[in-house]
Amino acid sequence: MKKHNYLLDGIILIALILAGILVFIRVKTGFSYTWNWGAIPQFFFRIDESGNIKSNLLMLGFYTTIKLSFWSSLAAIIIGTLMGILRTRKNLFSRLTGRTYIEIARNTPPLVLIFIFYFFIGNNITAALGIDEWARNLSGTGKGILSFLFSKPERFAEFLSALFTLAVYEGAYVAEIIRGGLESIQKGQFEASYALGLSSTDKYRFVILPQVFRKVLPSLTGQAISTIKDSSIVSIISIQELTFQGMEIMASTYLVFEIWITITAMYFILTLSLSTLATFLEGRMIKY
């Protein structure tokens, strides 16, 4: 091995440190920002009139982001699995259906999709189906359950259109992941299921999909992480998730850096725990 030139390394390192100090000094003098981290904790939790600790804006937004990501990931996996299967079928109509969905959902900006779904589903469909009314007329416990699982009854229609948009958008990517997984399964598995007389549903349910999900778990996790991150765009239709709350607090306090750094950390905690969980699950899975 060639002898290492430590002198050169040292010089480069010192030069970098000096450059860093210079930039820091320049920014410090030109950048008059008074940090106020002390103002942040009150946005996590607050103490109400009767002295109870209540979640405040940031935590409420955090919960909404979790709920929204959970339901839309779940819906995306269901839509994506169905469409991924359709995409690999022999039947031309099935293939066209799958392909059309994937291409439309993948080749449209999600922001545009959100507007379409918001004005279409949020304003018309939910009203036509009476979902709004149903949510408003729920009993006390019913409202409690709805709030816990989804969102406040009066915002349920918006929540649904956000959920639906994210599910449709992410579902297209899930469909492609599932298709890849399906194509990696040996033909013999399909043939053996056929020869044993299994119905098409049983074939996928017991033989094919369990193998597919094991193979694509890492990619699916990546897609779920994307869903969490992409969920921030629904702030545009006033879903009170993490990013929306951040903008609200920023508008009233001007704590630009503190707020966005805090929110970045919160997203990071969420996505990191998800990928840690997935790694743990992968390790636990039976090796065959």
Give the footprint of another protein on this chain (CB under 8 A): 186, 188-189, 191-192, 194-199, 202, 206-207, 210-211, 214, 286, 288
Q: How far is the CB of 73 from another protein (least distance, A)?
A: 23
Contact criterion met (CB below 8 Å) for 106 and 172: yes
Choose between 192 and 261: whose C-beta lies nearer to another protein. Answer: 192
Q: How far is the CB of 188 from another protein (least distance, A)?
A: 4
Q: How far is the CB of 18 from another protein (least distance, A)?
A: 59
Among residues 209, 229, 212, the alpha carbon closest in space to that of 275 is found at 229
> Amino acid identity of 211?
Q
Choose between 131 and 198: whose C-beta lies nearer to another protein. Answer: 198
Three-state DSSP at 130 gives: coil
Q: How far is the CB of 94 from another protein (least distance, A)?
A: 16
- E-state strands within 209-280: none
Q: How far is the CB of 100 from another protein (least distance, A)?
A: 27
CB under 8 Å to 43, separation ≥6 — which residues?
56, 57, 58, 245, 249, 259
Choose between 213 and 260: whose C-beta lies nearer to another protein. Answer: 213
What is the C-alpha end-to-end distance of the chain, expressed in Å?
42
Q: How far is the CB of 193 from another protein (least distance, A)?
A: 8
Which strand (E) or helix (H) includes residue 53?
strand 53-55
> What is the C-alpha separation between 18 and 5, in angstroms, rounded?
21
Choose between 38 and 188: whose C-beta lies nearer to another protein. Answer: 188
Choose between 103 and 282: whose C-beta lies nearer to another protein. Answer: 282
Choose between 76 and 85: whose C-beta lies nearer to another protein. Answer: 85
Contact criterion met (CB below 8 Å) for 114 and 164: no
